[in-house]
Every structure is written in C-alpha cells, then in structure tokens.
Chains A and B, each alone.
Chain A
Amino acid sequence: DIQMTQSPSSLSASVGDRVTITCRASQSISTYLNWYQQKPGKAPKLLIYAASSLQSGVPSRFSGSGSGTEFTLTISSLQPEDFATYYCQQSYNTRAFGPGTKVEIK
C-alpha cells in the first residue's frame, strides 16, 4: 500500500501568516492528490483536487502544488476561519488519507 505522511503534524500561526503544509507519498502518485479541511464536529471539506485545482467556492488564498511523491498546500494569508486540521488524500489506487496537520492560533 502507498503510505502518506504529512509535515508538520501541527503548527501555530498568526492571522496573515503564509502557511505551507507538505504531504509525501511512499511512491509516485502522479498528481492524484487531494487536500481537505476539517473543523471539529464537521465532515472534511474538499479544497484542492488533482494536486493543484481549486474546488469551486474555495478562496483563492488556498493553493496546491507538486507531483510524484511530494506535494504542498499553501495558505497565502491565514484567516481566522482557516484554523482547522488539513488532510491530504491519494486517489492513485486506494483513497487513503494522510495523518493530518493541525493549524492552531499562535
């Protein structure tokens, strides 16, 4: 099975900061990589699909990049509503999720 890792597992940031989260796959998954945001008590919400495509309705401060085994999610200017946990998901074979990155208020 393809293993997904994320770094960091958590981070503290301030409103307005630029935030970057990394997701790595244990083997190449091309661009079959999605990013989700999850807030407590809610279902995950799709932010980015196919590594770099912004889901409809998602603010443009979110962006994704990468291919092969290394991917990044960037929030260009962190807003109060962005404090949440972020998960990557590969859709190359199984549809497994990464372990998550919790973004907390500094």
Chain B
Amino acid sequence: QVQLVQSGAEVKKPGASVKVSCQSSGYTFTNYDINWVRQATGQGPEWMGWMNPNSGATGYSQKFQGRVTMTRSTSISTAYLELSDLRSDDTAVYYCARSGFGMGVNFDYWGQGTLVTVPS
C-alpha cells in the first residue's frame, strides 16, 4: 500500500533552517510528483511547491521563493523540504503529498505531517 512517512517534530530558532524528509513506499517514486503543504494551527492548508522526483524539477509558490528548496534521493525514495531563515510564523505542520504531473492534479496520498516550531 502507498505510504508517505515523514521525519519527526523539530524546534528551531529564528533565522535557522529546517529540513523535513518524506519517505515513499508502495509505488514507483519517480512516477509521481511530491508536493509540500503546510498548515498553521487553525488555518487552512497552504501549498508550498512541487518536485518531480524523476528529473528533480521544482515549482515553488511565489510566497516561498528564495527560502525553500525541494530535493530528493531516488535511491531511498525520499523527498526533502528545506526552509531557511525561519520566523515564528513558519510554525506549522508540514505535509508531503503525492500527485500526478502538470495541470489538473490532485493529492491522493499524504504523509502524517511534521510539526515545526519556531519560538518567537
């Protein structure tokens, strides 16, 4: 069965970086995009960007351009999200989610979420 398993909770200081991992199993890792979505407490989901694990191509939300990097290791079917220059308003649960390519995609499988806390 398809599973996306994320790394554990993180506490980071303002100005630091965080790297969250998302290990995939149960399907061919390079056949689907990995997206990253975050959700602050009491807020709706916020899409951050996508990565194509086959080519390494990425597409980032304008809001996060310059602060976000999405990478992968195909040998271990794992995607990574790195967010730099952390601020208190980056405190949120970060999810990875699988999708197809291009327009008209949907997020059919999700990781369990990783809580990133940036104390003010």
Contacts and interface: CB of A to CB of B under 8 A. Distances in A.
A94 B61 contact: yes
A83 interface: no
What's the dominant secondary structure at chain B's contact region?
loop
B21 interface: no
The interface size bin for chain A is 20 to 34
B113 A95 contact: no
Interface string B78-115: 00000000000000000101010001111110111100
Given A43-B95, A94-B61, A87 B45 contact: yes
The interface size bin for chain B is 20 to 34
Contacts of A91: 103-106
Given A43-B112, A43-B113, A97 B106 contact: no
Interface of B: 35, 37, 44-47, 50, 61-62, 95, 97, 99, 103-108, 110-113
Closest 6 CB pairs of A and B: A43-B110, A49-B106, A95-B47, A34-B106, A97-B45, A100-B44
Interface of A: 1, 31-32, 34, 36, 38, 43-46, 49-50, 55, 87, 89, 91-100
